[in-house]
Amino acid sequence: MASPQATETEIQTRVADLMSWMTVEEKAGQLTQYFTFPGVTEELENVETEVRAGRAGSLLFVSDAAEIDRLQHIAVEESRLGIPLLFAYDVIHGFRTAMPVPLALAASWDPSLAEDCQAIAAKEARSIGLHWAFAPMVDIARDPRWGRMIEGAGEDPFLGSAMAAAQVRGFQGDRIGAPDRVIAGPKHFAGYGASLGGRDYDEVDLSDSELWNIHFPPFKAAIEAGAGNIMSAYMGLNGVPASGNKWLLTDVLRAEWGFDGFVVTDAGAAADLETHHFAMDRPDAAVRALNAGVDMEMAPPFGGDAAFRSLPDALASGRITMDRLDEAVARVLTMKFRMGLFDAPFVDVAASERTLATAAHGDVALRAAERSAVLLRNEGGLLPLSRDIGSIAVIGPFADAARDTSGPWIFRQDDSETVTVLAGIRAAVGNGTRVDHSVGVSVPKRLHPSIFENPFLPPTPVIEVDDDAEIARSVALAQEAEVAVLVLGEAEVMIGEHASRSTLDLPGRQQELLDAVLATGTPTVLLVMTGRPLDFKGAQPTAQMMIWYPGTRGGEATANLLFGDAVPGGKLPYNWPRNIGQIPLPYAHLRSFKPEETEMRYWNEPNGPLYPFGFGLSYSSFDYANLRLSSDCIAVGQSVEVSVDVTNTGVRAAEEVVQLYIHQRYGTAARPVRELKGFNRIALAPGETRSVTFPLTPDRLRYWSSATRGWVQEPTTFDIFVGGSSQGGLATVLKVDALA
């Protein structure tokens, strides 16, 4: 039975009391989080010793209910003070039930959907005894070479902030300690998405304007939504490693934003301050991290030595103060009390089995996969297909690949529960439809192995075929079929952490397969399984849809979309470049010098994207009319409402993401040609018109100016755009006067 919720005053009294009993070594222990990696027995033995000795505050990666319970019993029953452990894990897009990857959820432009998905992820995680998710990743990503783009919400701070806050609410519910929820840990503070060359972990150099206007807002939104934890990033930010960066972790996070949760480093990032050639040695690294504002060290993986072990020495030599140590310990213990761990530390193993992968969880995964797909092409209205179609050839290395369908950053799924695209199509058509399948080409391989091969499941089956023969077979199947459905993209180990790329080409021989199938002339649907824009070298399939890594029920969702039981309504959360050489290519760029050449700054091709941010087609069509402002002229500090009428002009019920953009014409700094400041995904019956209203509040009209080095809202003129993507749409003008 749940115990009554303790008040914050009671919690603080209990924290102070507990701390009065603790040795310095036990305090340092509370600030240390250890890995246990499946199969690494020696590491587990060391961890058990540390837990017994009261030298561990938290463990990560234990993800088995009985094992969590066993380790918690050691902490509570065998350590001197019996302080329970916080169990943390990467619950990125589901625990057992795989939801679509976070970038896909962003493509739904439906924050409440992201909230629902993370609430289920939290419920499954909490049931096995986890208390804390290393998520959401809220890093803005404008370089698709960076594999971790898939973990976030794409390139835009406004969409990113909405998704960040929604996911925090999903993980945590209305408070830390809410039943069936876990602590959210937005990461990686800050700027990780801007690593040089898109190379993972590489250094980051960002202007203050970029930080405040683009990279910080999702963190701020996550904190305002109540996030209990923040993870500090690995890389150097403007020369100072993020995990030793006092300006970032104290001046901005605490002083400016009032964050009152605890900060954990990324894995080994405290010890790494030495690797960065920033700290003199590991003990110095611990001092620098703690003094910068880190509260807990995630120790280096595979038994690496925790830097925070040396904190007692640092205290003895006066390099850290007892006040700072106590502050960090109090933050961690406060979370343990808020989570109710002192009253109910153990796991109900039998109950957890009943919670994982319920049908209701799968239903949300299905809805999420349907809502996150983005239709990019549909020549001649090929889609939706008729269920009575005579024959379909389903081709490609990812058409029947369960592990890839779940995507990266999920480790405890059950592949037998995953519906692949092939299985989804087979289940959707009647007996009269012939469905043929070929893998098309071997599953492409990485140059070097991934460190993220799933450690809990058997290795992904290696599919190796004679590519020439298989391409020829696929062509023959396509020729005989009424429609070819190609499922191409990247294997899940080719994206995510440690999975950056120097090209956006289809890996392996998939491009050859694509070209050969298109050359048959059979109408072809290209379904793309990845989490970044790819370069298809101008290939023009009849229809093309991003299905991302759609999760447990992904294949079923895809079939529903193909046959029209679901209508695509997602929109791209990033600008899709024509060519890798254009990167970075944010839609929210400055007008700059010679704006008349904006479209031809390269001599060899247009400057603009292949598909713009916010773009996505439907099986229906929409008309925008009657864009109006509640007032054409406001004063600084006032709000205005922007309204538009949207009509479904097609014959199907469908959903449209109505988007509001602004452009400030002049001010103390130049502002982007367009910036997203509102969106609303609405459902419209055929012929139905709805009026959509967006508030434009002062906080949406302000920005951080490099000229004044602070937030400003200026007397100026704004262009206001409303439409179905970041290009085109209706436009009007808003004047903002100085305060009288």
What is the nearest approach in angstroms of ligand BGC to the Cβ of residue 160?
16
187 binds ligand BGC (CB under 6 A): yes
Near ligand BGC by CB under 6 A: residue from 497, 656, 675, 714: 497
200 binds ligand BGC (CB under 6 A): no
Nearer Cβ to ligand BGC, position 396 or 496? Answer: 496
- Beta-strand pair 391-395/434-438: parallel
Q: Which of 139, 143, 200, 266 is catalytic?
A: 266
- Helix 510-519 and helix 467-480: axis angle, to 10°? 30
Q: Please, are residues 272 and 234 in contact by the beta-carbon 8 Å criterion?
A: yes
Nearer Cβ to ligand BGC, position 48 or 266? Answer: 266
Q: Which residue is nearest to ligand BGC (CB)?
A: 134
What is the nearest approach in angstroms of ligand BGC to the Cβ of residue 388?
47
Q: Please, are residues 482 and 392 in contact by the beta-carbon 8 Å criterion?
A: yes
Instruction: Give SS3 for 220.
Output: helix
* Alpha carbon separation from 473 to 399, 517, 525 (Å, rounded): 16, 10, 18
Nearer Cβ to ligand BGC, position 257 or 452? Answer: 452
Nearer Cβ to ligand BGC, position 242 or 483? Answer: 242
Nearer Cβ to ligand BGC, position 160 or 672? Answer: 160
Note if the bond before 136 is cis, omega within 30 degrees. yes
Scanning residues 455 to 494, which ones bind ligand BGC (CB under 6 A)?
Answer: none
Nearer Cβ to ligand BGC, position 188 or 309? Answer: 188
Q: Please, are residues 501 and 145 in contact by the beta-carbon 8 Å criterion?
A: yes
What does the chain come to in residues?
Answer: 740
Scanning residues 258 to 277, which ones bind ligand BGC (CB under 6 A)?
Answer: 266-267
**Which residue's structure tokens are 């934890």?**
229
What is the nearest approach in angstroms of ligand BGC to the Cβ of residue 51?
19
Nearer Cβ to ligand BGC, position 57 or 609? Answer: 57
**Which residue's structure tokens are 């939801």?**
99
CB half-sphere exposure, 267, CA atoms < 13 A:
18
What are the residues facing 694 on neighbouring strands?
Answer: 642
Nearer Cβ to ligand BGC, position 35 or 587? Answer: 35
What is the nearest approach in angstroms of ligand BGC to the Cβ of residue 34?
12
Give 633's contacts (C-beta < 8 A, 6+ positions apart). Answer: 734, 735, 736, 737
Scanning residues 133 to 152, which ones bind ligand BGC (CB under 6 A)?
Answer: 134
297 binds ligand BGC (CB under 6 A): no
Helix (H) / strand (E) element for 468: namely: helix 467-480
* Alpha carbon separation from 671 to 62, 213, 346, 415, 584 (Å, rounded): 47, 11, 53, 48, 17
Q: How many residues bind ligand BGC (CB under 6 A)?
A: 7
- CB burial of 337-351 (b: ≥16 within 10 Å; e: otherwise) equals bbbbbbeebebebee
d(CA 13, CA 113): 39
d(CA 25, CA 4): 32
What is the nearest approach in angstroms of ligand BGC to the Cβ of residue 138?
11
Please list the alpha-helical segments (H only) found in 22-101.
24-30, 41-52, 65-73
Nearer Cβ to ligand BGC, position 134 or 189? Answer: 134
Q: In what order do the strands lie in the sheet with 391-395?
A: 374-378, 543-546, 524-529, 483-489, 391-395, 434-438
3-state DSSP percent of the chain in helix, strand and coil, to 5: 35, 20, 45
Question: What mask of x and - would describe binding to ligand BGC in positions 405 to 444, judged by CB under 6 A?
Answer: ----------------------------------------
Scanning residues 26 to 65, which ones bind ligand BGC (CB under 6 A)?
Answer: 60
What is the nearest approach in angstroms of ligand BGC to the Cβ of residue 253?
18
What is the nearest approach in angstroms of ligand BGC to the Cβ of residue 581?
28
- Give φ, ψ of 484 to 5 degrees: -105, 135
What is the nearest approach in angstroms of ligand BGC to the Cβ of residue 200?
9
- Note if 266 is an active site residue: yes
90 binds ligand BGC (CB under 6 A): yes
Q: Please, are residues 147 and 498 in contact by the beta-carbon 8 Å criterion?
A: yes
> What DSSP assignment string belongs to 482-525?
SEEEEEEE--GGGSSTT---S--BPSTTHHHHHHHHHHT---EE
What is the nearest approach in angstroms of ligand BGC to the Cβ of residue 90?
5
Nearer Cβ to ligand BGC, position 319 or 498? Answer: 498
Beta strands in 349-451 (DSSP E): 374-378, 391-395, 434-438
What is the nearest approach in angstroms of ligand BGC to the Cβ of residue 460?
19
- Residue 298 DSSP one-character state: E
List contacts with ligand BGC (CB under 6 A): 60, 90, 134, 187, 266-267, 497
**Catalytic residue numbers, as ranges:** 266
